[in-house]
Amino acid sequence: MKSFIENYIKLFSYYKSLADKSLATLTEEQIFFSLNENSNNIAIIMKHMSGNMLSRWTDFLTSDGEKEWRNRDTEFEDSFLDKSTLFTYWEKGWDCLFAALNSLEANQLEQIVYIRNQGQTVNEAINRQIAHYAYHVGQIVFLAKYFQNENWVSLSIPKNKSIEYNQEKFDNEKVIKNFTDEFLK
């Protein structure tokens, strides 16, 4: 069961890495740019994710994941004035998440936790958050790719390079490892 926790940490690290690598390609103007009135800009996505992380992962095992102090609706308001403050808040959310995961013991994975009074096992709650964050990281990556256009550098297997990538993999001996290992270098 300890391997589940280690895998969860690797998956969250992988998605954070995808977001961070995408964010590193962007200007402050691009991070705060909205495609239209109904679209969230990257700053809002980051703010929402961080707000969610702070709510879900603070006292993860002992209090409801939807904290009374959280105001989810304000997460979708563009209130950060600069990239530096936004990134500090972004890291605060991730730090909270990783602190909670690193404190978990294998025997706690089947414990019941609540989100909005709905009970689920710790495993289920973690999987729920992986899916949620992957969804938003995908939005960040998509927007970064849009802004970079022809300057985009693939974060995984580059377009039209699958054959070469697969050949390189199959030229090596079989190995048991997490797929994220090569992307988290």
CB 67 within 8 A of CB 28: no
> What pLDDT is attached to residue 125?
98
How far from 168 is each of 48, 153, 185, CA to CA, in Å?
Answer: 39, 20, 18
Q: Which residues of 10-49 are buried (b: 16+ CB within 10 A; e: fewer)?
A: bbbbbbbbbbeebbeebeeebbbbeeeeeebbbbbbbbbb
Whole-number Å distance between alpha carbons of 143 and 23:
10
> What pLDDT is attached to residue 1?
59
> What pLDDT is attached to residue 104?
96
Superfamily (CATH) of domain 2-152:
dinb family like domain (1.20.120.450)
Whole-number Å distance between alpha carbons of 168 and 179:
15
> What pLDDT is attached to residue 171?
92
**78 φ/ψ sector (left φ>0, alpha ψ -120 to 50, else beta):** beta
Whole-number Å distance between alpha carbons of 134 and 118:
22
Locate 46 and state its tokens.
Answer: 């980051």
Any idea where the domains of the chain sit in the sequence?
2-152
CB 130 within 8 A of CB 11: yes
The one-digit pLDDT tens for each residue of the chain (185 residues) are: 569 999 999 999 999 999 999 999 999 999 999 999 999 999 999 999 999 999 999 999 999 999 999 999 999 999 998 999 999 999 999 999 999 999 999 999 999 999 999 999 999 999 999 999 999 999 999 999 999 999 999 998 888 999 998 998 899 899 888 888 777 76
> What pLDDT is attached to residue 39?
94
